[in-house]
Amino acid sequence: MPSDLPPMGPKAGIEDEATVRASTGIPKLDLLLDGGFRKGRNILLIGPPGSEKTIFGMQFLNSALLAGRRAIYVTTDLAPASIESMSSKYGFDLASKTGKSLAFIDCYTWTLGTGAPAGRKDTLVSGPAALNDLAIGIGQALAEAGDADKCIAIHSVSTLLLYNSPDTVFKFVQFTGARLKSANATTLFFLEDGMHDEKVVTTIKHLTDKVLVMRQEKERWTIETEDEDLPVPADFTIGPNGIELI
């Protein structure tokens, strides 16, 4: 017998996590974070020097690209081609997305004095000290992405602090962070642990919405948040598919 009731759907007042969360790219971490990072938030990723944060960022952007989102990678420490090559070792095909759904803003190549590599369409910025040009490049990338969901990695705030005064970087993070949030972008800001004065780190934390910390104790790697989402460190390892919680 036909029913006059409307078809079943999501309950009123209950958010669809796929529309309000951006996956970290790490399935078990997504479960612990109730679906991933909340969209339109600025996340500070702190960890010791090494490739672990870079792998996290590549994994995060790869997941966004697979979900049909746009991605922007701001690099101050590696050439875009090196990031693409490194990502392929973990099964992340960033190279085929570059210039399409993935845009690189390259603050690194200029420091080599070699000029733009032939055949690439990255946005070049004349070094980490050119924060105004970097802000313009980010604005252009956001405009090109339009209304699409966006995930962004800014690698790294630590390098910006090497080339600029802390106050200048604070203003950049505050201004850029607000701009990214208004574009509903989910952004990872990278910060090297142990490199900066405690007051500098505290200020950068204050300018972001969530802090995610990677730690290493001998052979053990852990990750945790500085809030109630993941207050207990979760162990992780890096395998052929990138970072995996264990």
**What are the tokens at 28?**
């078990």
Superfamily of domain 23-160+181-245: P-loop containing nucleotide triphosphate hydrolases (3.40.50.300)
| List of long-range contacts for 177-181, beta carbons under 8 Å, 24+ apart | 177/42, 177/207, 177/208, 179/135, 179/138, 179/139, 179/142, 180/42, 180/138, 180/142, 180/152, 181/40, 181/41, 181/42
**What are the tokens at 90?**
């973990």
The pLDDT, as a whole number, for residue 17 is: 52
Question: 9-64: per-residue pLDDT in tens?
Answer: 333 343 445 568 999 999 999 999 999 999 999 999 999 999 999 999 999 999 99
Neighbours of 43 (CB within 10 A): 20
On the question of pLDDT at 8 being above 80, the answer is no
Name the DSSP letter for residue 226. Answer: S
Radius of gyration from C-alpha coordinates of the chain? 19
The pLDDT, as a whole number, for residue 19 is: 65
On the question of pLDDT at 115 being above 60, the answer is yes
Mean pLDDT of the chain: 92
Question: 135-152: per-residue pLDDT in tens?
Answer: 999 999 999 999 999 999
Question: 50-97: per-residue pLDDT in tens?
Answer: 999 999 999 999 999 999 999 999 999 999 999 999 999 999 999 999
Domain locations in the chain as residue ranges: 23-160+181-245
Region 228-239: mean pLDDT is 91
The pLDDT, as a whole number, for residue 117 is: 82
pTM for this entry: 0.91
Residue 3: pLDDT band (50, 70, 90) is very low
Residue 100: pLDDT band (50, 70, 90) is very high
On the question of pLDDT at 204 being above 60, the answer is yes
**What are the tokens at 14?**
């209950």
